[in-house]
Structure 1
């Protein structure tokens, strides 16, 4: 996860909300997770300096899946990655309206369950894929963020 935080910070992510999905393993206890969040904050600050960003990303405490879905309410673009999705993220064109924020949901190695995908869809998330390969969650997160920058530009330029 340390490498993921560094790379997402370099790519311009402004908020990271870890959550346990139904198929997530392991599930650290609250105290251990709190220490990890503090460590990730320091890693993000180092990456911030390296890539010349002005504002560190918000690294949230672990949230429930429902809370994460609810946090996306104001985002213009909401996508959930699924190996069963037919639409590739790379196939999406830039939107005609101004995009202020993009909310990405990347699941665990086992993927999201059909119930989790249905819950996201009911709140306006579009299921998309990163192609024919099954990627580790960390790899998928970095690939998705790079593609979002390519499609929509550097949102917020922070």
Structure 2
């Protein structure tokens, strides 16, 4: 990491938005994952569509998609992007009493979509919590991470 510097700080340490105007438009993609752990009874209610607030998995999917589209409003210094695709998958894991969340975001643009994928996962997880908190305030949101990205100057990345 020697020689690398943070791109969102100027020479005096002040925050700045990175200038991407000279970067070429390329196809870029990013995937992030996260998990919400809960009681077995909570997962059963979610899967049986038994929550008073409605279908938690579908509401969380929609919330994740919306979050990807609004990332530049939520995270300072993120560029607004014309996102071309957002997929949010929610996979129940009965053995672990959890829901695994994965989001993939694609764009043809001058900057990547890692933050958009991470925002989608984060908000989908938060929405699951919100939908089920009346029956289980002990849910744990975690393991949110970038798992893959492609395109751009820095090339491809795949988590180990």
TM-score range, shorter chain: under 0.3
Structure 1 or 2: more helix by fraction = 1
Structure 1 or 2: more strand by fraction = 2
Indicate the structure (1 or 2) with the bigger Cα radius of gyration: 2
TM-score by length of 2: 0.24
